[in-house]
Amino acid sequence: MKELGLETPRSGFAHSMEDAWKIHKDIGLPCVIRPSFTLGGTGGGIAYNLKEFEEICMNGLKLSPTKELLIDESLIGWKEFEMEVVRR
């Protein structure tokens, strides 16, 4: 998608609060926080402010058996595109 000039959401993996704050600095708010390997999205959420960001990250790190979070830039307000890839 980047080769086509389409913007993609920024994201990163965090294994500590220090990592999470570094990703936050790049991504900003709101952002989507998802702990790795939890059932049904347990411990994840959307952070709209710094307090929510810290609470969701700390809880997610505690609940994830691998102590890993995926932090994604929020797609609120983005336009959706669908593409099909054809190859031989």
pLDDT of 63 higher than 90: yes
- Helix (H) and strand (E) counts for the chain? 2, 4
SS3 state of residue 54: helix
Please tell me the pTM assigned to this model: 0.83
pLDDT digits (tens, 9 = 90+) for 33-57: 999 999 888 999 999 999 999 999 9
For 82, the 3-state DSSP assignment is coil
Report the DSSP beta bridge partners of residue 70.
13, 34
Q: What is the pLDDT of residue 33?
A: 98
List, in order of start, the domains of the chain with CATH numbers. Answer: 11-73 (3.30.1490.20)
Q: How many CB atoms lie within 10 A of CB 50?
A: 11
pLDDT value of residue 16: 98
Neighbours of 29 (CB within 10 A): 14
* pLDDT digits 0-9 by tens, 64-87: 999 999 999 999 887 777 878 888
